[in-house]
Amino acid sequence: MKRIVLIVFVMVSVTEINAALIDRGGGLFYDTELDITWAPSLQTTGKRQYEAHTWAQNLTYYDSVRDVTYSDWRLPSPDGVYGGIPEAQGEMGHLYFITLGNPLGGPVSNVGPFSNLKVTDPTWDTYWAIKTITGGYAHAFNMATGMQWAWDSGYQLNALAVRDGDVPEPATLLLFGLGGLGLLRKRKKCLS
């Protein structure tokens, strides 16, 4: 029993040290530092901020690896400064600077699993964030330059979807299932 606890402790410790995007399969990537899951294929273009917000809220994504449908998607948050970099505000800033390691002002050298990410136009390759600002403006993050600013919420920009938390790893599900079967078998032996 002590050996199992030690192995689990070491696995958790290593995960915390190496904060990154972890491929969970099924097109989902877990950010270990922010405790959010990205689905790089869930992108849209040409949306006003309220349309992008509605798009994300109405998303359903079938995860064929886990046979689960997720419907708790949202736009990324613009809040927070990560890694001591003032420009690394919000979840998109963290993704751009910390996780992918891109420089302020571009050029973008790493898009990671986000192969469809728009990163070449310093004006229009901008993605909406969830937060609106009074006066008809909303936060947006430019993936070509790493800059976050307020845009007129009527502009038609891009959007990415994110969800809070992690998704269970298929191996974890298998271990829990086998553990449950073992407990049931042990219980049957005790009862007979």
Arithmetic mean of pLDDT, 38-67:
94
The pLDDT score that the predictor gives to residue 180 is 62
Provide long-range contacts, Cβ within 8 A and 24+ apart, for 136-142: 138/49, 139/78, 139/90, 140/49, 141/76, 141/78, 141/90, 141/92, 141/93, 141/96
- Domain contains 127: yes
Angle ∠(130,132,137) on CA atoms, nearest 5: 130
Q: Is the pLDDT score of 18 beyond 50?
A: no
Q: Is the dihedral of CA 76, 79, 82, 85 positive or negative?
A: positive
The pLDDT score that the predictor gives to residue 16 is 39
**The two three-digit tokens of residue 15, written as one number:** 């995960």
- Domain contains 174: no
Q: Is the pLDDT score of 185 beyond 90?
A: no
**The two three-digit tokens of residue 45, written as one number:** 């273009």
The pLDDT score that the predictor gives to residue 2 is 53
| Least-confidence region, from 50-54, 57-61, 79-83, 107-111 | 79-83
User: What is the number of other CB atoms lying within 10 angstroms of the CB of residue 8?
Assistant: 10
- Domain contains 178: no
- Domain contains 123: yes
Domain boundaries, position 149: 2-168
- Domain contains 173: no
The pLDDT score that the predictor gives to residue 131 is 87
pLDDT tens per residue, range 68-77: 999 999 999 9
pLDDT, greater one: 32 or 14? 32
Angle ∠(78,132,117) on CA atoms, nearest 5: 50
Which range has the top average pLDDT, 1-5, 119-123, 178-182? 119-123
pTM for the full predicted model: 0.76
| Domain total in the chain | 1
- Domain contains 25: yes
pLDDT tens per residue, range 113-160: 998 999 999 889 999 999 888 889 999 999 999 988 889 999 999 999
CA atoms of 157 and 154, how far apart (whole Å): 9
Closest CA to 179 of 187, 189, 168: 187
